[in-house]
Copies of this chain bind each other. A is one copy, B any other.
Amino acid sequence: MTLGHNITLKFAIVTLVFTMISCKNENTSISDNNSETITSEEHPNLILTKEGVKAIRANLGEIPIFDQTLAKVQEEIDIEINNGFDVPIPKDYSGGYTHATHKKNYSLMQKAGVLYQILDDEKYANFVKDMLFEYAKMYPTLPIHPKPRSYARGKLFWQCLNDSNWLVYTSQAYDCIYDYLTEEERNNLESNLFRPFADHISKDNPQFFNRVHNHSTWGNVAVGMIALVMEDDALLQSALYGIKNIDLDKSLKDNDGGFINKDGKKGFFANLDEPFSPDGYYTEGPYYQRYAMYPFLIFAQALQNKKPDLKVLEYKDGVLLKGVNALLNLSDADGDFFLLNDSQKGMSYYNTSLISAVDIAYHFGGNNPELLSIAKKQSEVTLDDAGLAVALGIKEGKTKPFDKKSIELSDGANGDQGAVAILRSGNLELVHKYTAHGLSHGHYDKLSFALFEDGKEIIQDYGMSRYVNIEQKGGGNYLKENKTWAKQSISHNTLVQNETSHFQGKYDIGSKHHSYKYVFNADNENLQVSSAKEDNAYPGTKLHRTFVTIKDNDYDNPYVLDIMRVESETANQYDLPLYYLGQLIQTSFEYTKSDVPQILGNKNGYQHLYNEANAITKGENIKLNWLLNNKFYNYTAVTSKGDEVILAKIGANDPEFNLRQEPALVLRKRNSKNTVFASIIESTGVYSPVSELAINSKSNIKSIEVVLDSKDYTAIQIITNKDKKVMFVISNLNNDNEIEHKLNINNNEVSWKGPFILKEIN
């Protein structure tokens, strides 16, 4: 043991109050009296701190959620120590053995490091040490990873991104056993492993490191974390502010088609500036926000511990803590994240990165008791100072429910690039997307929406075309259908003009624009409105979409009114798909089902849709009734004479069965200039396969009609099956809350203040 030796004093001693001897040192001091000289720079001091370890040990056995997590981690690591580890020569893509093993290794090291600190058992330190030395032996011999698919190839993994993951975790492990190692051992590790490792993901790959992207966030943080442990200020500076004096070609793109670095921004702080809006929304969407939050927050925690003068958690008005709140609000009733842009279904706030995000936000963000209810559901905490704070909070009965309300989260560094709105009414959650493009993971789906009930998708967003880490499916990486299908406009619940995607499906164009908010009003829980506009997706065509959730006391559930208004200088074909999930039960219209499904189109995603059946409407309302999760859903839409209804299915031109074969209804208007698509979606009743009772299986809507549509106003009249007649009117040009409007529509006087009204009429 060489504990207490060779402590460098590069950083100021900040908090003298903590310079007492920790439990650990009391234990080890028996054999090493030198250890009594303690400073705050003594390790661990990155995520775990000396004083944190002391407090944890003092509370062990009395903090159930912490104790359970600790027991689980200890059990896991004990088994792994018993089984032995492997440090294989890198070879595979995601999902392959070497990829999975190196991924597992960093997680094991991080956990073993923590166990060493908390349990004071050297077998854990030894495990980390042995593994690190294996890496230090192998690393200098490694060429660039043999798999060529990445724009920034790593050494342990096929992309620098995964190498960065490794270093973020391993830095923590190194900090935990720092004092357990001799100076010589540390020198060995630092010169053979950590410094060249940091160099590879930074200096050697500036196209990866010097940009604003979740990739570079990981890169910056990886370098920053190891810099903090090694107390290498130069390295820390490049992590915080990027590598200086590197000129990247501004037109370079990455594998996802995103620009590498168009405007020269770089470094950790730039990554905080750019993708986060003042509301804490991360422009790529919650799936990647979840991924990015971990490095952001773990590094913030480390900086808070070692460089508190940087006040990283106060940066941009506390945007990191707001980010945690935004992310939790971007989840459905079960905690699954809404699918905005590239996202895999099922990712949720049960992910480890959210466990640490919630704990850090609680500990460093003013102990918001609502976060404790999320932590309780996660039933796990981080094994560090933050996790201890959460465990104590829960133990002390401070928990309050995390009450998710309707919310609008702005997009853009300054919050002026559109937003995402969540309308929550009854058990329904409607997600309305009118954001900016979302960097390289963005989809071409301006004004699209998705609908959830009780944490289940009803009207789905397809998400990405990728089976993450399932090696059999394209190495676990993005599939080509992500580009040809999942990103295209037609794969979303939004309007497609002339069978082309928004912005021609071009990132260069799409990334220049954003939709904009028109109205967001959730003041009255029985009548909530989200309305937004898009002028650039199709030059010459203006889109204006309004969602209204209406709770009529005659019925158990609220229903959703959807008004998509189109104004164009030219005549076009408009397609509005509805990706309902479930089994079609009945339609109100007669359709012809083809013997053999036809392919709907030949490009822009249309090549992936089968046309299974279609109908030409006579201008009547059309209805679709379907069953999902033993619930009955209904869609009722206004049509014009000659509109086409296509019952479609995903799955054409899918030679490897990569796509999920799920249905859609596409409402098509041909040769139209200005038009309004108006429809209602209802969740009406339930089916029990046990009692075999079908309750409220049909729509409660007798009719929906566009009774007025002008440049200034759009009015929709709805009659329910109880013959209640209501009219929803929206001002299309003036969203001022104080302006008064007065109209006569079909002999009904309607006057109101503000952008919209819902009025019962006779």
> Do residues A689 and B347 form an inter-chain contact, with CB atoms below 8 A?
yes
A467–B647 Cα gap in the complex (Å)?
21
Whether A593 is near chain B, meaning CB under 8 Å from some CB there, is yes
Closest B residue to A607 by beta carbon equals B595
Whether A60 is near chain B, meaning CB under 8 Å from some CB there, is no
A613–B586 Cα gap in the complex (Å)?
30
> Do residues B625 and A472 form an inter-chain contact, with CB atoms below 8 A?
yes
Residues of chain B within 8 A of A344, CB atoms compared: 689, 692
Give the interface centre of A467, A595, A687, A694 by most chain B CB atoms within 10 Å. A694
- Choose among B351, B586, B654, B691 the residue that contacts A472 (Cβ–Cβ < 8 A): B586
> Do residues A345 and B689 form an inter-chain contact, with CB atoms below 8 A?
yes
A757–B698 Cα gap in the complex (Å)?
58
- Choose among B352, B472, B649, B656 the residue that contacts A697 (Cβ–Cβ < 8 A): B472
> Do residues B687 and A470 form an inter-chain contact, with CB atoms below 8 A?
yes
- Choose among B348, B649, B691, B694 the residue that contacts A352 (Cβ–Cβ < 8 A): B691
A470 and B694 in contact (CB under 8 A), knowing A598-B596, A655-B593, A661-B649?
A: yes
Q: Which of A632-663 contact B (CB under 8 A)?
A: 647, 649, 652-657, 660-661
Mask for A467-480, Cβ within 8 A of B = 1, else 0? 11111110010000
Whether A752 is near chain B, meaning CB under 8 Å from some CB there, is no
Whether A95 is near chain B, meaning CB under 8 Å from some CB there, is yes
> Do residues B469 and A654 form an inter-chain contact, with CB atoms below 8 A?
no
Q: Which of A311-370 contact B (CB under 8 A)?
A: 344-348, 350-352
- Choose among B346, B593, B694 the residue that contacts A469 (Cβ–Cβ < 8 A): B694
- Choose among B473, B584, B652 the residue that contacts A585 (Cβ–Cβ < 8 A): B473
> Do residues A95 and B694 form an inter-chain contact, with CB atoms below 8 A?
yes
A470–B689 Cα gap in the complex (Å)?
11
Residues of chain B within 8 A of A694, CB atoms compared: 95, 100, 469-471, 476
Give the interface centre of A470, A599, A652, A654 by most chain B CB atoms within 10 Å. A470
Smallest CB–CB gap between A381 and chain B, Å?
16
Smallest CB–CB gap between A401 and chain B, Å?
22
> Do residues A698 and B472 form an inter-chain contact, with CB atoms below 8 A?
yes
Whether A690 is near chain B, meaning CB under 8 Å from some CB there, is yes
Whether A627 is near chain B, meaning CB under 8 Å from some CB there, is yes
Mask for A560-578, Cβ within 8 A of B = 1, else 0? 0000000000000000000
Residues of chain B within 8 A of A599, CB atoms compared: 595-596
Residues of chain B within 8 A of A350, CB atoms compared: 690
Residues of chain B within 8 A of A584, CB atoms compared: 657
Smallest CB–CB gap between A211 and chain B, Å?
24
> Do residues A470 and B657 form an inter-chain contact, with CB atoms below 8 A?
no
Whether A601 is near chain B, meaning CB under 8 Å from some CB there, is no
Residues of chain B within 8 A of A697, CB atoms compared: 95, 470-472
Residues of chain B within 8 A of A625, CB atoms compared: 472
Whether A58 is near chain B, meaning CB under 8 Å from some CB there, is no
Closest B residue to A660 by beta carbon equals B583
> Do residues A627 and B470 form an inter-chain contact, with CB atoms below 8 A?
yes
A161–B584 Cα gap in the complex (Å)?
29
Whether A597 is near chain B, meaning CB under 8 Å from some CB there, is yes
> Do residues B690 and A348 form an inter-chain contact, with CB atoms below 8 A?
yes
A contact residues, total (Cβ < 8 Å):
52
Closest B residue to A291 by beta carbon equals B692
> Do residues B95 and A472 form an inter-chain contact, with CB atoms below 8 A?
no
Whether A16 is near chain B, meaning CB under 8 Å from some CB there, is no
Residues of chain B within 8 A of A585, CB atoms compared: 467, 470, 472-473
Residues of chain B within 8 A of A690, CB atoms compared: 346-348, 350-351
Whether A12 is near chain B, meaning CB under 8 Å from some CB there, is no
Whether A693 is near chain B, meaning CB under 8 Å from some CB there, is yes
> Do residues A597 and B595 form an inter-chain contact, with CB atoms below 8 A?
no
Q: Which of A581-610 contact B (CB under 8 A)?
A: 583-586, 593, 595-599, 610
> Do residues A351 and B598 form an inter-chain contact, with CB atoms below 8 A?
no
Closest B residue to A659 by beta carbon equals B583
> Do residues B654 and A692 form an inter-chain contact, with CB atoms below 8 A?
no
Residues of chain B within 8 A of A692, CB atoms compared: 344, 347, 468-469
Mask for A98-116, Cβ within 8 A of B = 1, else 0? 0010000000000000000
Closest B residue to A476 by beta carbon equals B694
Mask for A163-201, Cβ within 8 A of B = 1, else 0? 000000000000000000000000000000000000000
A596–B691 Cα gap in the complex (Å)?
40
A607–B692 Cα gap in the complex (Å)?
29
Residues of chain B within 8 A of A348, CB atoms compared: 689-690
Closest B residue to A630 by beta carbon equals B346
A668–B477 Cα gap in the complex (Å)?
34
Q: Which of A90-133 contact B (CB under 8 A)?
A: 95, 100
Residues of chain B within 8 A of A583, CB atoms compared: 657, 660
Residues of chain B within 8 A of A469, CB atoms compared: 692-694
A693–B104 Cα gap in the complex (Å)?
10
A586 and B652 in contact (CB under 8 A), knowing A599-B595, A599-B596?
A: no
A610–B596 Cα gap in the complex (Å)?
8
Give the interface centre of A472, A473, A583, A660 by most chain B CB atoms within 10 Å. A472
Partner-B contacts on A (CB < 8 A): 95, 100, 344-348, 350-352, 467-473, 476, 583-586, 593, 595-599, 610, 613, 625, 627, 630, 647, 649, 652-657, 660-661, 687, 689-694, 697-698
Q: Which 7 A-B pairs have the closest CB atoms?
A: A346-B689, A472-B586, A584-B657, A468-B692, A593-B655, A470-B694, A472-B585
Known: A95-B697, A596-B599. 18 other contacts (CB 8 A): A345-B689, A347-B690, A348-B690, A351-B691, A352-B691, A467-B585, A470-B687, A470-B694, A472-B698, A473-B585, A593-B654, A593-B655, A595-B653, A596-B598, A596-B610, A596-B652, A613-B657, A649-B661
A sample of 26 cross-chain residue pairs with beta-carbon separation below 8 angstroms, ordered by A number, consists of A95-B694, A95-B697, A100-B693, A344-B692, A346-B689, A346-B690, A348-B690, A351-B690, A352-B691, A469-B693, A469-B694, A470-B697, A472-B585, A472-B625, A472-B697, A473-B585, A473-B586, A584-B657, A593-B654, A593-B655, A593-B656, A595-B599, A595-B652, A595-B653, A596-B598, A596-B652
